[in-house]
A = this chain, B = another copy of it.
Amino acid sequence: SADIEVVRAAAREFLELFHGESPRAERLGPRIAAVMREIELTGTYWHTAEELAFGARVAWRNNARCIGRLYWRSLQVRDLRTVSGAGDVAGSCFDHLQVAHNGGKIRPMISVFAPETPARPAPRIWNEQLVRYAGYEQPDGRVLGDPRYRTFTSELVQRGWQPPDVPGAFDVLPLVVETVEEGPQMFQLPRQAVHEVPLEHPELAWFAELGLRWHAVPVISNNRLVIGGVSYPAAPFNGWYMGTEIGARNLGDSDRYALVPEIAEQMGLDTSDEATLWRDRALVELNRAVLHSFTANGVSITDHHTESRRFLIHLEREERAGRRCPADWTWIVPPLSGSQTPVFHRYYTAETQLPNYLTDPDATHRSLQGGPPAFP
């Protein structure tokens, strides 16, 4: 069928890429022949462990949105393709959080669960990241916690999730893993899987009293890893945070924790006039607090200036290796002091190259709306 033809072509292209970059791989011709036979029989094929690791790393290298790609070779790949039950997937995710955290010295890591096959659809993780905070709509319409997950939270409550007796601004949501046999299942994250950093400011003593915190390891869990015609919808991966993701976006965006006005108030800034740049000043201090607190707690984090420079080194290396490096300006340029970073001052090409991590609209929908299930 036409589908099979697409899988064949994608497999061949990937195997050629892998063999072209892996001097010690087994010979290409026989491997392609074996894969073609396997596709003929089953409609898909099983990557070797080496192909899987290479594919996951190159998917990172190809992702146009990621500024952190300099270290793409260092990705640790956990081959969990035989894990497919909801409880096992959840348990392995909790292990992932522990192993990746590594006492604070975070390891870039991916856990690849069972692939999508004609015989059996792959499991799905509903959450956008393994650790996300609940958002509770209050009677006055305001949200306690992360407003981004307001609907997700209320849907999980409908499904039987019990929030803590006293709901707070940083309550970790349960992990939702869906399989075709079991439907969506919820799993409370064990305490030891969730490492968090309480936020304090290097100079402003009152900052610690705001009671802010953030989790240490950002594990994106709703992207689909695509390698050579094989899809892995459940393949959570992590790097370490760039400070702006927390300080500028998660805590600063007006539709997230929106803390800038409160911090400006505490700083005593004149918020009656935009031209005092009180937003900009408060935003910088919020970001300083994030970087300071992670570092003081021994948790890996990077700042946007350092990471921008590293990204340009990466671009140069890729160019020297004779490869294209797709990049999306709107994602690569940091949300804070954009023009102060060297990545601002150039153009990029942004075509999609495979392998890659793809954002499926239905997966995005599930991660924000808490449904509908993938297997209704």
Contacts and interface: CB of A to CB of B under 8 A. Distances in A.
Contacts of A252: 339-340
Contacts of A339: 248-249, 252-253, 335-336
Residue from A303, A333, A334 having most chain B Cβ neighbours under 10 A:
A303
A305 B277 CA distance: 9
Interface in A231-254: 243, 248-249, 252-254
A111 interface: no
Given A248-B337, A252-B340, A260-B340, 9 more contacts: A248-B339, A248-B340, A277-B284, A277-B288, A279-B337, A280-B337, A280-B340, A335-B344, A336-B337
Is chain A's interface secondary structure helix, strand, loop, or mixed overall? helix
A306 B336 contact: no
Contacts of A338: 333-336, 338
A295 interface: yes
A48 interface: no
Interface in A305-363: 305-306, 329-330, 333-340, 342, 344-345
Interface string A256-291: 000010000000000000111101110110011001
B340 A274 contact: no
20 contacts: A248-B339, A249-B339, A253-B345, A255-B345, A260-B340, A274-B305, A275-B292, A276-B288, A277-B287, A277-B288, A277-B291, A279-B305, A280-B284, A280-B340, A283-B337, A284-B284, A330-B333, A333-B338, A335-B339, A338-B338
Nearest to A274: B305
A303 B329 contact: no
Contacts of A291: 275, 277
A340 B283 contact: yes
Contacts of A248: 337, 339-340
Interface string A150-161: 000000000000
Nearest to A254: B342
A311 B281 CA distance: 23
Nearest to A294: B275
A214 to B, nearest CB: 16
Contacts of A255: 345
Nearest to A288: B277
Query: Nearest 9 pairs between A and B by C-beta?
Result: A335-B339, A274-B305, A275-B291, A280-B337, A280-B284, A275-B303, A335-B338, A279-B340, A274-B303
Residue from A252, A305, A330, A340 having most chain B Cβ neighbours under 10 A:
A340
A287 B277 CA distance: 8
Contacts of A253: 339, 345
Nearest to A342: B254
A338 B305 CA distance: 15
Residue from A243, A305, A337 having most chain B Cβ neighbours under 10 A:
A337
A338 B275 CA distance: 15
A251 to B, nearest CB: 11
Contacts of A284: 277, 280-281, 284
Contacts of A344: 335
A174 to B, nearest CB: 28
